[in-house]
Amino acid sequence: MQVSWLRRLALLVGSMLVLSPAPAQMEVPELSHTLTRLAQPVAAPDFVIEDMDGEPHSLQDYRGKVVLINFWATWCPPCRREMPSLESLYQKFRDQPFAVLAVNQWESPDHVFSYMGDLSVFPTFPILFDRKSEVSEAFGVKGLPTSVVIDKQGRVVLRAIGGRDFAHPEIERTIRELVE
Amino acid sequence: MKMVYPRCCLLLLLCLPLIVGGEVRHHRSPETGLSSWKVEDRGFSLELVQLVPNYVKAVFASRGLPPEVVAEVGGYCVFGTIVRNLSDAPLSNLVADWRYITADGVAHAPKTKSAWVAEWRERGVAFRWLMLPEDQTYEAGDWGQGFTTVKLPPGTVFELAYAWSQHGETYRGSIEGLRCGPAEPADG
């Protein structure tokens, strides 16, 4: 049957996609280490979405902290590649007014949970679920991954399109300037 | 000695930087038999990777999208596409201005992400990922990857005329000898 054949292939490719961006010959671009400062910071749109345990998280709850929001999905190869460095950055500033929110697009908690088990570094920051991509839309996100940094006043001040090495000293320095 | 050039020559010299592309690198994977092309053109980096229809269909099916959406995308010539901004100033990738010029001289427009998303929305599907945005501005260090699509049969050979803009200028380049992925993988 066409449908079951397609479903089997989908499962196979779905798991392959977690490991590779596309057929093997595609070069894997290096992760960048720049965050672009917005010429004019804009107020971050508020949202309330749930985490893995169904607990609601509102952006308002993080007011007074620097918040890095990472829009991602399990099928997005650079999202997977940057995740360990995101955890490293989170740990580095854990005791300071800094938060990381990984806002997943379109996927279910069950799917993401099984994906997390395959990661070398398990993220300890909240994973939130934007099932209808409404939050990413409000932030003007067009592609994944995209990250934004919100300052303590609740304004979007930095933006990055494409995968980043968040453990890079340049990014750490930029975050430190905002946190301190 | 004073040299006199016709005005049209002068105009051509002025326009030349806007129409000359960079060097194209072609790679064929010995494992899959599929090809990729990469060009770096004045800070604009573009890479296209052949994909086979079943792979594309499987990618969309594994997102849980309806069979009719999966079948529709599978009927297109799809490339995995990576765009990078290697310059030190913002640039915009103008996918909507790209043209796929086939051997008969016909210039085919791509089906843009906006067109796909609008079509999916009409079917009640809110999905808006996987396709490369056609109106994305990339700051220095930014990059993006996604699918680009055109309605051409598997194996079609064409010249891609690509376009991007920076500092208010539109730049154009081309890659000759691009080929849509085959209907089936070579080992298949």
ipTM associated with this complex: 0.84
- The two structure tokens encoding residue A144: 């994944």
Gap between the Cα atoms of A88 and A65, Å rounded: 18
* DSSP letters for B124-176: T-----SBPPSS-EE-TT-EEEEEEEE---TT-EEEEEEEEEETTEEEEEEEE
Domain ranges of chain B: 29-179
Structure confidence at residue A106 (pLDDT): 93
CA A24 from centroid of its chain's CA atoms: 25
Torsional class of B26: left (φ above 0), alpha (ψ -120 to 50), beta (otherwise): beta
Q: What does the CA dihedral A29, A34, A40, A41 come to, rounded to 10 degrees?
A: 100
Q: Which three-class secondary structure state does DSSP give residue B82?
A: strand
Structure confidence at residue A27 (pLDDT): 57
pLDDT one digit per residue (tens) for chain B, 188 residues: 344 444 444 444 444 444 456 789 999 999 889 999 999 999 999 999 999 999 999 999 999 999 999 999 999 999 999 999 999 999 999 999 999 999 999 999 999 999 999 999 999 999 999 999 998 999 999 999 999 999 999 999 999 999 999 999 999 999 999 999 999 877 54
Q: Least CB-CB distance to B143: which of A9, A32, A36? A: A32
Binned at pLDDT 50, 70 and 90, residue A171 comes out as very high
* Beta strands A98-105 and A127-130, pairing class: parallel
Distance from the Cα of A136 to chain B's closest Cα (Å) equals: 10
Classify residue B14 by burial, with Cβ atoms within 10 Å: 0-12, 13-18, 19+: exposed
Residues 6+ apart with CB under 8 A from B46: B38, B39, B81, B82, B83, B162
Strand partners, A42: A156
List the beta strands (DSSP E) in chain A: 36-43, 48-50, 56-58, 66-72, 98-105, 127-130, 146-150, 155-161
Are B140 and A36 in contact (CB < 8 Å)? yes
- The two structure tokens encoding residue A26: 């595609």
Rounded to an integer, the average pLDDT of A147-154 is 98
Domains of chain A: 31-179 (3.40.30.10)
Distance from the Cα of B149 to chain A's closest Cα (Å) equals: 15
- pLDDT tens per residue across span A111-134: 999 888 888 888 999 999 999 999
Structure confidence at residue A9 (pLDDT): 45
Residues 6+ apart with CB under 8 A from A164: A31, A32, A33, A34, A35, A82, A85, A145, A147, A171
Q: Is the pLDDT of residue A44 over 60?
A: yes
Gap between the Cα atoms of B160 and B48, Å rounded: 10
Residue A119 C-beta-side C-alpha neighbours within 13 Å: 20
Omega before B6 within 30 of 0, i.e. cis: no
Q: Which residues of A touch B28 (CB under 8 A)?
A: 25
- pLDDT tens per residue across span A58-67: 999 999 999 9
Strand partners, A170: none
Are A25 and B127 in contact (CB < 8 Å)? no
Distance from the Cα of B14 to chain A's closest Cα (Å) equals: 32
Q: Which residue has the higher pLDDT, B34 or A22?
A: B34
Q: Quick check: A82 and A168 in contact, CB under 8 A?
A: no
Q: Which of B95, B92, B86, B174 is nearest to B132 (CA)?
A: B95
Are A75 and B59 in contact (CB < 8 Å)? yes
According to CATH, the topology of domain B29-179 is: Immunoglobulin-like (2.60.40)
Q: What does the CA dihedral A149, A155, A159, A165 come to, rounded to 10 degrees?
A: -10
Q: Is the pLDDT of residue A74 over 80?
A: yes
Structure confidence at residue B184 (pLDDT): 85
Q: Least CB-CB distance to B128: which of A9, A29, A133? A: A133
- The two structure tokens encoding residue A141: 């996100």
